[in-house]
Amino acid sequence: MRDVIVFSGNAHRALARRICEQLGVPLSPADITRFSNDCLQVQLGSNCRQRDVYLVQPLVPPTQDHLMELLLMIDAARGASASQITAVIPHYAYARSDKKDASRISLGGRLVADLLVTAGVDRVLTMALHAPQVHGFFSVPVDHLTAIGVLADHFRGRDLSNHVVVSPDLGNAKTATQFARLLDLPVAAGNKQRLADDRVEIDSIVGDVAGKSAIVLDDEIATGGSMVGLLDKLGEAGCPSASVACTHGLFAGSAPQRLQGHPLVSEVVTTDTVPAPADWPQLRTRSVAGLFAEAIARIHIGESVSSLFDGVDPRHAPPQLSLQFADTASEQSVQGAPSVPSVLGGMLGGPAPLVGPDGTELRLADLEAAGPQLSQPVLVSADGDGPAVAASESASVSSAVTTAARR
């Protein structure tokens, strides 16, 4: 079986290191040079010949530089005779550019997909695409992971009897409903109109939020304009407090200050798909490194990735996931960190009730069934690029390479 080689660009080396720690493989060096004419050059520091190469690079600011680094890493791996090249893109920034909603406008989501394929990528591994239809822009396989189970783990164990999950808009209501089912909560949603990239208008709140604490779920937060507008409307509707949760915490510009200064916000929860800002006491970061490591190990040995999200009832604490390539004896817990049962990743079918102000049930159509992966979270310190991170200590995949090599 081919070896696994993992490289990282400059976008988020800390996440790449966490993934490698879960896999039990070293993070291979990549030398990225910028010449005097502003051109970039990449040199991979490990042998790639006939090996599975994984390139970890979220598309975060400076997005264009990091995209170019990724394209050059793909080209370098292809030129080095890699057997298979997988671009691990935890945050695919151009997923927002998915449709022609103005005259003579470009479709960046499709163009970047074409660039990656032209460079030589064989597979893409990503998480929480802003527009799921971007999946179809690629002519190579795409494994699309979800972090809603990781985020649900953060709230599990609390008294949620007087809480409601709130989606910022009706387009995200399906994901919010799946998230709500993991916590057995009702759902509400904002009715949003986007006026500009950093300016939105929330017309109303669909659902009963009066007197209830909100868990506001979004796929990403950039400027925070949508979130602040929604929080204002929630306050007007009688919501006393809110926890804000998102997969991709970009927090561009003054977004941290806007959220910290809002009277409703008690905490902000995100994942480490992108580097987290420092010096933000309200920010809680959950790691998805374990989920990406599981997916990489399954891709490497030809196991199903989608089965990570199949058939788990979130109302019960499930047993530890045991994969055939897992070396459970090698599991290490972080000293002094708590370890609690959890459900990692995942979606379950069947809508949670969406209740209007008059008490009647509103229904969301076409919810698809899936379910979460299992894991146990522990607390680990950040690698110098943000606050402490809660990492998923899933069944160890450190022996994936050696076990596969024996076959």
3-state DSSP assignment of residue 402: helix
Regarding whether 80 and 188 lie in a shared domain, the answer is no
364 and 242 inside one domain: yes
pLDDT for residue 79 is more than 80: yes
Q: Flag whether 406 is in a domain.
A: no
Q: Pick from 95, 125, 145: which residue ends a domain?
A: 145
- CA-CA distance, 246 to 230, in Å (whole number)? 14
Residue 183 lies in a domain: yes
Sort 263 into a burial class: Cβ within 10 Å, 0-12 / 13-18 / 19+: exposed
Tokens of 116: 């990656």
206 falls within a domain: yes
Mean pLDDT of the chain: 80
SS3 state of residue 161 = coil
Would you say residue 312 lies in a domain?
no
Calculated CA dihedral for residues 293, 219, 216, 312, nearest 10 degrees: -40
Based on the fold, state whether residues 100 and 128 are members of the same structural domain: yes
pLDDT per residue over 165-182, tens digit each? 999 988 888 899 999 999
Do 114 and 57 lie in one domain? The reply is: yes
pLDDT of residue 347 exceeding 50, the answer is no
Which is it for the CA torsion 297, 299, 302, 307, positive or negative?
A: positive
Lookup: tokens for 394? 């899933």
Say whether the peptide bond before residue 62 is cis (omega within 30 degrees of 0).
yes
Share of the chain above pLDDT 70, in %: 74
- Six-digit token pair at 387? 């606050």
- Whether residue 118 is found in the same domain as residue 196: no
Pick the last residue of a domain from 145, 170, 193.
Answer: 145
Into how many domains does the chain fold?
2
Same domain, 164 and 247: yes
pLDDT in tens, 280-321: 999 999 999 999 999 999 999 999 998 887 644 443 333 333
pLDDT greater than 70 at residue 400 = no
Burial 86-123 (b: 16+ CB within 10 A, else e): bbbbbbbbbbbbbeeeeeeeebbbbebbebbbebbbbb
The verdict on residue 327 lying in a domain is: no
Whether 218 is covered by a domain: the verdict is: yes
Confidence of residue 370 (pLDDT cuts 50, 70, 90): very low
Q: Is residue 297 part of a domain?
A: no
Write out pLDDT tens, residues 383-399.
Answer: 444 445 554 434 344 44
- Whether residues 162 and 26 share a domain: the answer is no
Indicate whether 258 and 354 sit together in one domain. yes
Statement to judge: residues 134 and 14 lie in one domain = yes
Looking at 103, 119, 145, the residue that finishes a domain is: 145
Residues 247, 366, single domain; the answer is yes
Which CATH number characterizes residue 349's domain? Answer: 3.40.50.2020
Kindly name the residue from 100, 174, 192, 212 that is annotated as catalytic: 192
- 313 located within any domain: no
192 catalytic per annotation: yes
Number of neighbours of residue 195 by Cβ within 10 angstroms: 10
Considering the domain architecture, whether residues 174 and 45 belong to the same structural domain is answered as no
Range of 246's domain?
148-285+341-374+381-387
> CA neighbours within 13 Å on the CB side: how many for 118?
7
Q: What is the mean pLDDT of residues 126-153?
A: 92
CB 140 within 8 A of CB 118: no
Within 10 A of 400 (CB to CB), how many other CB atoms are there?
A: 28
For residue 17, which of 399, 376, 381 has the smallest C-alpha distance?
381
Q: Are residues 188 and 94 in the same domain?
A: no
